Amino acid sequence: MSEAAAGGRRDDGDLRRRITWILVVRTVVISLVLGLTLWVSWLNEVDPASTPSLVLLGGIAATYFATLVYSVLLRAGIAPHRLIWPQVIGDLTVTTVLVHVTGGAQSAYTFFFALSIVGTAAVRGRAATVFVTGVSTALMVLVALSAWQQLLPVPSLPPATPHEQTTIMFLRSLGLSVATQLGVGVLGFLLAGELRRTEDSLATERRVVADLVSLHQDIVRSLTSGLVTIDLRGRVLTVNHHAAELLDAGGAVGGDVEAVLPGLRARLEALPLDGTLRRADLTIDRPGGALVLGISVSPLRDLQDTVVGRVINFTDLTDLRRMEHQVKHAERMATIGQLAAGIAHEIRNPLASMSGSIELLQHAPAASEDDRALMAIVIREIDRLNALISDLLDYANPRPRQTVPFDFAVMVHETVQVFRQDRAFGGVEVAVTGPDHLELTADAAKLRQVVWNLLRNAAEAAAGGGGHVTVTVRGEPDAAVLEVADDGPGIPPEALGRVFDPFFTTKRKGTGLGLATCQNVIGEHGGVITVASTPGAGARFTVTLPRAHAAPPA
């Protein structure tokens, strides 16, 4: 709605209220005055069927009927300004007839002309007030002269005998009535001016208030942070647009704040009434993941500086906290990698010397069979340590990435086919589904290592469960997705968040570096690897890689 339309509607509402009050006041005054006149006529034994009595009754009936008609038209939505002049003309007509019937200048109803002037001043401007004052004065003079000179043979109620008045008495009565109307006209003129100035001032104030309210709404709606206000009982008063979207709380107004921000009520109860809370984290558990909010609480005060509620402002810190966790994890992994690389280099050289010496002793003629068996055990453990050191070096000091376009789907199918030939997992069935071709730009050798590690972990888990591994490849508009799922015993909930940490493993013979290396490789390619598991129902690892990734710097 435009400002002009809104202003017009407010003006119509004010005018409608004024007209309604005029109708009520006019009905009450005419009912009292004419009712008293009829009562006096009855005491004076005036014939009810006489012409004056019938005129009085007709005036009352016409007034009631006109009031009823105007009320119906107002309720029907007729523009109120269209009813003003019919009402003024009707009032002047009824008043003229009543004044003539009741004695002209001697009539007690001449003040009805003044009521019409006041009513006009209340609903119209100065020009209309001057016009109605002039018409009322002219009608008063004409009716007084007509009754005095008996120009219209309409009998009047006794004891009014206007034609018996002397000239002096007539002029005195007429002068008083005209002076009264002129005085009321002047007052109505001043009243109309004051009303107009008041209306203009009120319209200006309304525009200012409307602009302030609109500005306030625009500011609240444009906030990039959530804003919720509550009363002292914790009921939600307002929710801005960002908060409604973030918390899915569009219909939360009137409800409890705990339903919108779970866990906040306990913190609010610990605060004094005028207390504040700054930069506190509030974690809300959701099916799609935890939502971390940065909460600030301050008292809500009215114009008298009385605390009437609280203002809750919050921002979404989920991505920031996740990034902080990733940075801390990366720093921790970098430190571990540097330490592992140093230890690996220091251990590999002695291991090589030990392995060579043991092999020479194993072939010595003086070595017994028991000695050779013990030496074979030492060589096997040295080889296992050497494999562990190789994993450490791959994790701590990986080779540079060599990005080339290749068919990711074909690479996965080939890796699965080779893995099926491993006799160590002969009892595990590996199934692969997906497209035959899926172009990807990445380091094929590193991704083959990732696929192999995930297949090996899944097969080891499936060997202790149903013996099935499912590999799924699918393409998305900007990404390639690989899923490796098994039907093994699953990962315990307390270990689910640590499976990508180096040296953490749930296997008896695992090194705990396979998944950590996979995460490094996927992160190096700008991708994401996630895990989902239900105890007793297996685990599912999901790798999401961008279809095209920038080549590493030379």
**Superfamily (CATH H level) for 404-546:** Histidine kinase-like ATPase, C-terminal domain (3.30.565.10)
**pLDDT tens across 26-48, in order?**
777 777 766 766 676 666 665 65
**pLDDT tens across 86-128, in order?**
777 777 777 777 777 777 666 767 777 777 777 777 777 778 8
Q: Which residues contact 69 (CB under 8 A, 6 or more apart)?
A: none
Quick one: which H or E segment has residue 188?
helix 167-222
Parallel, antiparallel or unpaired: strands 429-433 and 468-475: parallel
User: What phi and psi, each to the nearest 5 degrees, are found at residue 465?
Assistant: -135, -120
Segments making up each domain of the chain, as ranges: 3-206, 224-316, 321-396, 404-546
**pLDDT band (50, 70, 90) for residue 544:** very high
Cβ atoms of 117 and 181 closer than 8 Å: yes
Give me the pLDDT at residue 350, please.
Answer: 78
**pLDDT band (50, 70, 90) for residue 5:** very low
**pLDDT band (50, 70, 90) for residue 175:** low
Half-sphere exposure of 396 (CA within 13 A, CB side): 19
**pLDDT tens across 483-492, in order?**
999 988 888 8
**pLDDT band (50, 70, 90) for residue 325:** confident
Q: What is the mean pLDDT of the chain?
A: 76
Helix-helix angle 444-463:514-524, to 10 degrees? 150
Give me the pLDDT at residue 7, please.
Answer: 44
**519 pLDDT higher than 80:** yes
Above pLDDT 70, what percent of the chain?
A: 74
- 3-class SS of residue 229: strand
Strands (E), 302-352: 307-316
Q: Do domains 321-396 and 404-546 have the same CATH topology?
A: no
**Which CATH number applies to 224-316?**
3.30.450.20
Q: Which of 123, 19, 124, 119 is nearest to 71 (CA)?
A: 19
**pLDDT tens across 449-480, in order?**
888 889 988 888 888 788 889 999 998 888 89
**69 pLDDT higher than 70:** yes
Q: Largest alpha-carbon pair distance within the chain?
A: 169
Give me the pLDDT at residue 481, please.
Answer: 92
CA 458 remoteness from chain centre: 46
**pLDDT tens across 117-162, in order?**
777 777 777 788 788 888 888 887 787 777 766 676 655 555 555 5
Q: Which residue has the higher pLDDT, 270 or 159?
A: 270
Instruction: Name residue 473's beta-bridge partners.
Output: 482
**542 pLDDT higher than 90:** yes
Q: What average pLDDT does this structure show over 415-434?
A: 84
**496 pLDDT higher than 60:** yes
Q: Which residue has the higher pLDDT, 177 or 402?
A: 402
Topology of domain 321-396, per CATH?
Answer: Helix Hairpins (1.10.287)
Tokens of 168: 């002096």
Across 88-97, 161-170, 357-366, least confident range: 161-170
Q: How far apart (Å, rounded) are the C-alpha atoms in residues 300 and 238?
A: 12
Angle at 354 between CA 350 and CA 357, to 5 degrees: 140
Q: How far apart (Å, rounded) are the C-alpha atoms in residues 92 and 113?
A: 7
**pLDDT tens across 377-396, in order?**
887 777 777 776 776 666 65
Give me the pLDDT at residue 553, please.
Answer: 40
The model's pTM: 0.44
